[in-house]
Amino acid sequence: MIGISAYGVYIPRARLNKKAVADANAWFDAGLKSLGKGERAICNWDEDVITMAVEAASECLSSNQDVKLSSLYLASTTFPFLDRQNSVVVSEALNIDNQIRTMDIGASQRAATSALISLLESKAEGDSLLVASEHRRSKAGSRAEMLWGDAAASVLIGSENVIAECVGIETLAVDFVDHYRGEESSFDYDWEERWIRDEGFMKTVPAVVKKLLQSASLSTEDINHFILPTDQSRTPGVLAKKLGIDVTALVDNQISTVGVAGAAQPILLLAKALEDSNPGDHILMIGFGQGCDAILLKATDAITNYKPALNVSGALARRREENNYNKFLGFNNLIERDIGKRGEADKQTYLSGYNRRKDFLTSFLGGKCRECGTVQIPKEKYCVNPDCNALNSQDDYSFADKQGSVVTWTADRLTFDWSPPAYFGMVQFDGGGKIMMDFTEVEEGGIESGSKVSVHFRIRQFDPARGFRKYFWKAVIEEKN
């Protein structure tokens, strides 16, 4: 039996109040006020598709420590790099064995479901990891700005400890152009909503679902969870009625809490459906975009005992309200801002030097001395223990999953930072090792010496002159229970 054996999600902590967006733009389009209820998830300035993918994948793998991956697919329509395999960066940040097949899949809102179909039908040995992550830019004051959100989700595909087995798959390729983004465009261009619903969803989806259910010898009455990713709030209910699926089976698109996360939306909603499933439940997942993917899954008895590290409900609860619309515009480069002389310093990354220290910069590996057991970061030729000082005695030791404590910290408004002040200081890791780190997601008054921290893969610097971004690990203050 092949299917889903684990899942993980990541929703950025910052949630932009939609009323703030509507109030700022109502002078131009008063109709936005009707969409100004709830909030949407937004990336911090140092988050993107890659960093969110690392978070979601890490959550997924944390419940399966002994898994041996054969492949890692990353699905998105907003990759940071157009000619650099983004999935490799994710795999190295996760410190996965490099004897692995990696692939970026994009160019369609059904990129994730198409990738999932490929992995479910694959005969490759070992487990596969699918991560879908999306950080879409939208024009200021647009409908998309009100309805979209940033998020990532991942699933582990294999034949052991399956919590949802694959029952059937159908797909249809149709060049129905409901929206597009050209080679030199920064924003999607879409067509009229009603036309997309009537000519797209209502004609394409029923044909694929009918064929899928016939091949599985099931009826629409057998569907317990129906996933239809869309930012059209009424379309899922209308389509469910046409198909004969009970409206109570609809998995909420979470438009008022997260926003629709593009290609990542079907995997995020799948995680939500699995969170709410009982053994024997059937999950029908749709991917729509230049055709239609339909995947039918059935929850197994194993789902009763499966406990993810973080489910969708937990990710939703881990939030920080954001009412500053200008900050959102700045983080997404929707306004040109004076960054001052300190912000103009050249940020070139010397790729040869970067390549020599990838183990530290990307995988956050330190060392553990074979002679005395001392751990340190970064790993150097000599052991830092003054009573040892052994040469070339260190084995790789990962700090990416270690917690620590703040020893010292500084809030600096003179140093340039995209969200001032810049917080940095010394972190002492549990079990040994300490290093100067940047802090991120810091709320005013929320950091003090002794605060517990975890580390997260984030953007360290942008190099706009060359289109490169440098990643590193930052410390995040753990929330107090």
Give 256-270 pLDDT, tens digit per residue.
999 999 999 999 999
CA–CA distance, 343 with 3 (Å, rounded to integer): 48
Check whether residue 165 and residue 311 sit in a common domain. yes
Check whether residue 445 and residue 319 sit in a common domain. no
Check whether residue 214 and residue 351 sit in a common domain. no
Write the pLDDT tens digit of every residue in 422-438. Answer: 999 999 999 999 999 99
Whether residue 337 is contained in a domain is answered as: no
Residue 406 has pLDDT above 70, yes or no: yes
Buried b (16+ CB within 10 A) or exposed e, 245-273: beeebbbebbbebbbbbbbbbbbbbbbbb
Going by C-beta distance under 8 Å and a sequence separation of 6 or more, which residues neighbour residue 196?
A: 178, 190, 232
Looking at residue 326, its pLDDT comes to 96
Check whether residue 326 and residue 425 sit in a common domain. no
Q: How far is CA 369 from CA 50, 384, 434, 436, in A?
A: 32, 9, 15, 21
User: CATH no. for residue 157?
Assistant: 3.40.47.10
Looking at residue 254, its pLDDT comes to 97
Whether residue 389 is contained in a domain is answered as: no
C-alpha of 416 from chain center: 27
Look at the chain and report how many structural domains it folds into. 2
Per the listing, tokens 């360290």 go with: 460
| The token pair that represents 237 in the structure block | 């209910």
Write the pLDDT tens digit of every residue in 3-44. Answer: 999 999 999 999 999 999 999 999 999 999 999 999 999 999
Check whether residue 148 and residue 277 sit in a common domain. yes
* CB atoms closer than 10 angstroms to residue 37: 13
Check whether residue 106 and residue 190 sit in a common domain. yes
Check whether residue 310 and residue 403 sit in a common domain. no
Looking at residue 312, its pLDDT comes to 97
Looking at residue 293, its pLDDT comes to 98
Helix (H, G, I), strand (E, B) or coil at 304: helix
- Domain boundary residue among 286, 306, 331? 331
Check whether residue 252 and residue 357 sit in a common domain. no
Whether residue 108 is contained in a domain is answered as: yes
Whether residue 377 is contained in a domain is answered as: no
Check whether residue 300 and residue 435 sit in a common domain. no
The verdict on pTM exceeding 0.85 is: yes
pLDDT-derived band at 125 (thresholds 50, 70, 90) equals: confident
User: CATH no. for residue 435?
Assistant: 2.40.50.840
Whether residue 468 is contained in a domain is answered as: yes
Whether residue 46 is contained in a domain is answered as: yes
Check whether residue 42 and residue 179 sit in a common domain. yes
Whether residue 378 is contained in a domain is answered as: no
Write the pLDDT tens digit of every residue in 49-107. Answer: 999 999 999 999 997 777 889 999 999 999 999 999 999 999 999 999 999 999 999 99
Buried b (16+ CB within 10 A) or exposed e, 108-125: bbbbbbbbbbbbbeeeee
CA dihedral over 161, 312, 155, 129, signed as positive or negative: negative
Whether residue 225 is contained in a domain is answered as: yes
DSSP, residue by residue, 222-274: G-SEEE---S-SSHHHHHHHHHT--GGGBPP--TTTT-B-GGGHHHHHHHHHH
* CB atoms closer than 10 angstroms to residue 165: 18
pLDDT-derived band at 342 (thresholds 50, 70, 90) equals: confident
Q: What would the mean pLDDT of 186-215 be, rounded to a whole number?
A: 96
Containing structural domain, residue 356: 347-364+399-477
Looking at residue 481, its pLDDT comes to 58
pLDDT-derived band at 341 (thresholds 50, 70, 90) equals: confident
- pLDDT > 70 in the chain, percent: 100
Check whether residue 322 and residue 356 sit in a common domain. no
Residue 196 has pLDDT above 70, yes or no: yes
Check whether residue 312 and residue 351 sit in a common domain. no
Write the pLDDT tens digit of every residue in 344-385. Answer: 888 899 999 999 999 999 999 999 999 999 999 999 999 999
